[in-house]
Structure 1
């Protein structure tokens, strides 16, 4: 599901809104979502943080509102140049924007949660190139 062109390293953005807009636009430009889905992602973030753990956030639209905005399943990954404040208590370095139907969404969350729970995997991920991320996480 992960495509090489949907991986962005050393991204120099300063706010979660900027990151969500950037990744949302990449999902839109590559035919994964409608433009409205980006607004659903931002709204979802206002209602409840998508911070997962260990510096990882997983922004996505409000499932009940945005399912029609998903044209095909996909994810977009950003490794930020610097940590940014995601919510009051948490900073983020890795962001995975998710556009997926309910079943696939849950599969993605399970895989990401497994990675987020392993500090060694996170450290390795932060050091990988686009090609290495693609090779290790594209299936």
Structure 2
């Protein structure tokens, strides 16, 4: 999984999950990874099936119907120290790390798998959430 340091953002804060997903999508658009229509597909995906994965992570990504909007595979990593709620007020699901992804063909499945394996160990998520620099986060994903 190739990580672009310019797609890693630390110490972000969002008032809700839609704002967080839009932010991830805008980074993908600005980086030339997707067309702007992909962002609405990311929001639609979360409405249909939550992008919250447990262990304080969320993986915003577009619906399959938005594949045509993906220009190249990319991963945005966003640290949210105070967290953003991907659940409800009654059943909060706090995410402190966001991985906005877009993949050509089935590459998004590979990205989700790699992120999920790394973040299955909650200690790894804590390391990412506590990281003080972009470089510190990037080194966890170097192969």
TM-score, with length taken from structure 2? 0.90
Question: How many residues are aligned here?
Answer: 138
CA contact (8 A) 1:6 1:26 kept: yes
**Structure 1 residues not aligned, in runs of 5+:** none
CA contact (8 A) 1:52 1:116 kept: no
1:26 aligns with 2:63: no
* Equivalent residue number for residue 74 of structure 1: 74
TM-score, with length taken from structure 1? 0.93
Larger helix share, 1 or 2: 1
Larger strand share, 1 or 2: 1
Deviation at 1:55, TM superposition (A): 0.7
Deviation at 1:81, TM superposition (A): 3.0
* Equivalent residue number for residue 44 of structure 1: 45
**Structure 2 residues not aligned, in runs of 5+:** none
Deviation at 1:116, TM superposition (A): 2.1
SS in 2 for 1:27: helix
